[in-house]
Structure 1
């Protein structure tokens, strides 16, 4: 199922982030959602091919009924070195028609004290969570970090909403990135963390939580993008055991993209190594795991991998597909 929605508003929030407000032409109620949800938007890349990108839904109105919304709001950070989806979204103007899939939530808000940790555009799902917590009387604190205040979207609205429960960190003011270890040290035993931001931030939070012996379910997270494959990474051979085909993953190429380019139709969703949909059994070969879904034991077994982000550590992989 897809929806054709009209862009009612398109404006820049700062030099890197554009806000889009989407509505049905007839003003109809749209499928409902909960804080943390995202939609998939069809984009056109520079080579003319169409693809899909995930964007979190933003709600900054405490009284809004998200069960019966009449508009969706998304915000997109332009990534000039990305695959082209964000560059396309930054060309979208009011009056344009976009094709989207209805909301899906892989990052739900739970009961209890919420400590929200946002890095840059990672604020988009967490802003909606902050509003929901305030409306429901749920304890909440938001740590919002970025390179500078000028690049932090929705900052005035969040300051009005959260006041002393908003902690803003600007790298250019502090002279250093957010001190994740101090943030974790300040958490109470029953706080649940919700983290969305760049990989370096998430890695620091997860490593710090593990070092403190926190249970895995205490840290909920979502990456806003997966790091692109490096052009310096060596290529390797992939054997598909069920069909007998042998494919060559080019240097710097993503395994999932290689499979798609060669006519395969693997299951996948997030393309960020979070959801587990693209899990594939590995019959031979050493894996360089880059996902956030598999447990340490599953990674150590070498029997399964997430093909959207992980790759071969050696010259050859044999997959059960």
Structure 2
């Protein structure tokens, strides 16, 4: 995996909890180009990494000299945001080359739904759609105006294509039912934000009969094992070798298998890209992803092993 050593050349507060970081190569030069909706991964000092979407209000340069990300501090999170918020100008970080699991469908009208810090990938996506002349609307929701990053910049650059929603003013969350019901027959839906918003949008889109291939999500949640209070250990049997592993609370199937030396294919570790999808041969999975449809979840034949767990004592997987 290609990595780059970058220096923080600017840190700008956007809200009380969100800071923007501008990163440039520590030794100078240019960086790999990236696709609107892409993210990079920042290595943490205690091990592991966290994904952050790249931000631009204009075209993506073919040979960018800088990357921009925005990070919301989560005091009860897993430590990635605290690590980033402990850094300042001049500090250096190790990052992976950008990757896009949340691309824009070329030429297709779009409904973009962003909740909170989920706005970050939507910024480059909205401006790419605008530059291409593709019809779109960006609906950006937050609890209140003061926690909304980039509000003024987006209003200036997107004009009537931007709709802002403040829960405290509207008296409740954004009207997902109305927005999804009004979608056109060829319109694509893109959703990024907190898990409850994504779950609700997926359920409503499925109920409205919108084909899954026209619904795209990115989950802004770095809880790598999808941990819930009260989780129990369970066993995973690998069909190829018969090996059995115990998956304890707080660790994912991927983490346990990698520690045992197995080479797995995955990316987001948040349950929204679908790359780690695995066939379930025996047992009942406890789905915690945002990839599978309700019908696929009910069938129980597939699971995302980065976040999902088990409702039975053992799962036998096609690995």
SS at match of 2:289: coil
Deviation, structure 1 residue 290: 2.0
Tell me the residue number matched to 2:103. Answer: 108
Tell me the residue number matched to 2:230. Answer: 232
SS at match of 1:32: coil
| Residues 1:150 and 2:146 aligned together | yes
Cα distance change on mapping 1:178 and 1:165 into 2, 3 Å: same
**What number of residue pairs does the alignment pair up?**
315
| Distance (Å, rounded) in 2 between the aligned partners of 1:178 and 1:217 | 23
Deviation, structure 1 residue 127: 0.7
The answer to whether the 8 A contact 1:235-1:252 is kept is no
SS at match of 1:19: strand
After TM superposition, where is structure 1 displaced by more than 6 Å over at least 4 residues in a row? none
Q: TM-score, normalised by structure 2?
A: 0.91
Deviation, structure 1 residue 262: 4.8
| Distance (Å, rounded) in 1 between the aligned partners of 2:292 and 2:220 | 19
Deviates more, 1:170-179 or 1:181-190: 181-190
Q: How does 1:288-303 map to 2 (within 5 A)?
A: 288-295=286-293, 298-303=296-301
Tell me the residue number matched to 1:80. Answer: 75
| Distance (Å, rounded) in 1 between the aligned partners of 2:280 and 2:60 | 45
SS at match of 1:159: helix
Tell me the residue number matched to 2:307. Answer: 309
| Distance (Å, rounded) in 2 between the aligned partners of 1:18 and 1:71 | 16
| Distance (Å, rounded) in 1 between the aligned partners of 2:41 and 2:249 | 29
Deviation, structure 1 residue 296: 5.0
Tell me the residue number matched to 2:92. Answer: 97
Tell me the residue number matched to 1:10. Answer: 11
| Residues 1:215 and 2:211 aligned together | yes
Deviation, structure 1 residue 260: 4.1
| Distance (Å, rounded) in 2 between the aligned partners of 1:219 and 1:291 | 15
| Residues 1:23 and 2:20 aligned together | no
The answer to whether the 8 A contact 2:113-2:192 is kept is yes
Report the aligned-residue RMSD. 2.1
The answer to whether the 8 A contact 2:13-2:19 is kept is yes
Gaps of 5+ in 1: none
Tell me the residue number matched to 2:41. Answer: 40
The answer to whether the 8 A contact 1:118-1:196 is kept is yes
